[in-house]
């Protein structure tokens, strides 16, 4: 009896609190809310009150991940983005600055400090010469350090962007900026835009898969692969990097596939009714996600299993099944792209080399960290190439900002280890594969590697270029939200044509 009383109490409470959806329903049906509808729904859905009454649903609404032709011919069909969370030092990897070595341990010139703020550097820091040995590689003569011996061998496959710059010197906002085009929360990620625009080739797998390594997820959290104001069916789906890639893929004991199909169908029929009543696009996303879940149960265990890969592939990547590692994730990325997944985003944490401890030191920790990605990322390029997939897969590598040519002096004191502070004015990224001009380098920094002198590339320029390579004009690829069209690049972005094939 007491349970009944409790239930009755809950029922009356529920009646008292009108839900947001009921409010919206009333607005649309009773207030003649036609003018309001686009503002509320922010998309083509919710056309209540049209001549035939109900909601107009396009095929795209019902099959949001079905493959779409790009607006114009893009060279790349899929993208693998390797984000080194924490921001690796360009001065130890790709941006060779012999001049900086001469100033090692000398006071930083005042001209570099005037009017500038750093995340941790205070007062006058010492300069910090390059701690790696550099040499030129391949026919392109790319400068790559001895921290990346494997990668040096594929120098001719990539295009370097050496004068990247950003305007955010803290990890969270900088990661958001790099992945969503805005340092503030709420915008769709690059991967969501691409999945929204192109759908995906394999309807049994999510269009946008995220894998992390390095023991931590990025500082900015899941929003950096979020869908923002795009329907949430386009958000990145994070698979686990250790143990089962996705939990609860198995149906309950005794429930057949056929019966599960009926369960999902009954759920979706009921949700469909709610969608007809309320027009909330999130319900539509829910319906699609349940269908995806049902289909994923078959294909995910197979594609996410690296145990059965041949020995030479494990050798190539340096993979050890069962571990959480960047190497395993690189191999998975190749498998996913091969299966028709549109976007694979890898995050590897542990690049924030401030010099506060051994692992965070430029001369030791960074070298070890590089060792953990050197072979896998090289293998990824070689493996994609040998399968003929590199031509249609865009591979992007980089962090959220760079590191200072000065040695960090947290709270004005000398640090125990050699470290570099966050730096916004210059850092290096590279791209390879679909539509990228091999063996090129774009951007020149000054003698200290402090700031770009020529061919500077903003985050928006990078995004514009990536979208271009995927077949979009970044100025025309928009989504209507809150009364105005939004772009990944907002009102910025110039194509970097010199690195296009």
Partner 1 sequence: MTNTPLQALVTLNDPVYLDAAKALSQKVWAKSGKNPDVAIQELYRQLLLMPISEAKKKSMIELFATAKTEFDRDPKARDEFFPGSDASLAALAVTANAMMNLDEYLTKP
Q: Which parts of this chain interact with partner 1 (CB under 8 A)?
A: 7, 10-11, 14, 17, 19-21, 206, 232-233, 235, 237-238, 246-256, 258-260, 262-267, 269-271, 273-274, 282-283, 285-287, 289-290, 292-293, 296-297
| Residue 21 vs 339, nearer CB to partner 1 | 21
Nearer to partner 1, 105 or 258 (CB): 258
Nearer to partner 1, 255 or 453 (CB): 255
Token pair, residue 399, equals 């962090």
Judged by DSSP in three states, 343 sits in: strand
- Minimum CB distance to partner 1, residue 52 (Å): 19
The smaller minimum CB distance to partner 1, of residues 218 and 471, is found at 218
Nearer to partner 1 among residue 281 and residue 318 (C-beta): 281
**What secondary structure letter does DSSP report for 477?**
-
Residues in CB range of 215: below 8 A, 6 or more apart = 324, 349, 350
SS3 of 173-216: the string is HHHHHHHHCCCCCCCCCHHHHHHHHHCCCCCCCCCEEEEEECCC
Q: Min. distance of Cβ 230 from partner 1 in angstroms?
A: 12
CB of 244 to partner 1, least distance (A): 11
Report the DSSP pairing between strands 444-445 and 452-454: antiparallel
Closer Cβ to partner 1, 19 or 58, answer by number: 19
Q: Residue 110: enclosing H or E segment and its boundaries? A: helix 110-113
- Judged by beta carbon, residue 237 or residue 500, the one nearer partner 1 is 237
Beta-bridge mates of residue 407: 420
- C-beta closer to partner 1: residue 261 or 413: 261
SS3 407: strand
Pairing of strands 402-407, 440-442: unpaired
CA angle 55, 57, 58 (to 5 degrees): 155
Q: Which pair of structure tokens corresponds to residue 413?
A: 């004191």
Beta bridge partners, 396, equal 81, 431
To partner 1, the closest distance from the beta carbon of 222 in angstroms equals: 10
Q: Is 260 or 492 the residue whose CB approaches partner 1 more closely?
A: 260
Residue 282 buriedness (CB in 10 A; 0-12 / 13-18 / 19+): middle
Q: Smallest gap, in angstroms, from Cβ of residue 112 to partner 1?
A: 46
CB 371 within 8 Å of CB 98:
no
Task: Give the largest Cα separation in the chain, rounded.
Answer: 84
Q: At closest approach, how far in Å is the CB of 346 from partner 1?
A: 18
Instruction: For residues 501 and 499, give the distance between their C-alpha atoms in angstroms, rounded to a whole number.
Output: 7
Q: For the chain, what is the radius of gyration of the CA atoms? A: 25
* Closest CB 376 distance from partner 1, rounded Å: 25
- Residue among 253 and 312 whose Cβ is closer to partner 1: 253
Shortest Å, Cβ 227 to partner 1: 9
Q: CA–CA separation, 48 vs 297, rounded Å? A: 35
Q: How far is the CB of 255 from partner 1 (least distance, A)?
A: 6
**Which element (helix H / strand E) includes 429?**
strand 427-433
Asked whether the beta carbons of 171 and 87 are under 8 A apart, the reply is yes
Q: How far is the CB of 466 from partner 1 (least distance, A)?
A: 24
């Amino acid at each position: 009896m007491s349970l009944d009383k409790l239930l009755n109490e809950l029922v009356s409470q529920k009646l008292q609190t009108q839900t947001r959806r009921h409010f919206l329903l009333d607005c649309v049906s009773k207030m003649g809310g036609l003018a309001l509808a686009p503002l509320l729904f922010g998309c083509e859905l919710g056309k209540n009150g049209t001549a035939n009454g109900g909601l107009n649903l396009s095929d795209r609404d019902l099959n949001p991940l079905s493959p779409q032709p790009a607006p114009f011919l893009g060279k790349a069909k899929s993208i693998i983005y390797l984000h080194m969370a924490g921001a690796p030092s360009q001065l130890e990897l790709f941006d060779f600055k012999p001049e900086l070595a001469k100033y090692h341990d000398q006071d930083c010139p005042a001209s570099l400090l005037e009017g500038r703020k750093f995340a941790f550097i205070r007062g006058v820091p010492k300069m910090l010469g390059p701690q790696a040995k550099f040499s030129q590689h391949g026919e392109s003569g790319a400068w790559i350090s001895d921290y990346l011996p494997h990668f040096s061998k594929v120098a001719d496959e990539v295009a370097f962007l050496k004068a990247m710059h950003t305007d955010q010197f803290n990890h969270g906002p900088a990661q958001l900026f790099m992945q969503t085009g805005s340092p503030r929360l709420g915008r769709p990620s690059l991967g969501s835009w691409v999945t929204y625009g192109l759908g995906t080739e394999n309807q049994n797998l999510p269009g946008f898969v995220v894998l992390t390594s390095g023991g931590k997820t990025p500082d900015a959290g899941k929003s950096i692969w979020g869908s923002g104001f795009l329907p949430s069916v386009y958000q990145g789906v994070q698979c686990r990097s250790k143990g089962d890639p996705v939990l609860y893929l198995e149906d309950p004991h005794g429930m057949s596939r056929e019966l599960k199909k009926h369960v999902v169908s009954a759920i979706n029929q009921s949700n469909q009714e709610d969608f007809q009543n309320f027009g909330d696009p999130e319900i539509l996303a829910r319906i699609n996600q349940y269908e995806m879940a049902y289909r994923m149960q078959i294909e995910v265990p197979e594609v996410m299993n690296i145990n059965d890969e041949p020995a030479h592939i494990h050798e190539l990547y340096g993979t050890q099944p069962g571990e959480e590692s960047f190497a395993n994730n690189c191999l998975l990325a190749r498998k996913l792209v091969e299966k028709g997944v549109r976007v694979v985003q890898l995050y590897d944490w542990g690049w924030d080399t401030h010099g506060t401890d051994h692992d965070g030191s430029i001369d030791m920790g960074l070298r070890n960290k590089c060792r953990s990605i050197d072979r896998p990322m090289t293998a990824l390029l070689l493996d994609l190439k040998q399968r003929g997939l590199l031509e249609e897969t865009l591979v992007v590598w980089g962090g959220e900002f760079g590191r200072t040519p000065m040695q960090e002096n947290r709270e004005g004191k000398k640090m125990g280890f050699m470290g570099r502070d966050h730096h916004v004015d210059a850092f290096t990224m590279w791209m390879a594969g679909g539509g990228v001009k091999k063996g090129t380098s774009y951007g020149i920094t000054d003698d200290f590697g402090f700031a770009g002198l020529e061919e500077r590339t903003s985050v928006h320029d990078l995004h514009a270029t990536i979208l271009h390579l995927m077949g979009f004009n970044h100025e025309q690829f928009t989504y209507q939200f809150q009364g105005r069209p939004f772009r990944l690049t907002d009102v910025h972005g110039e194509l970097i044509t010199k690195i296009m094939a």
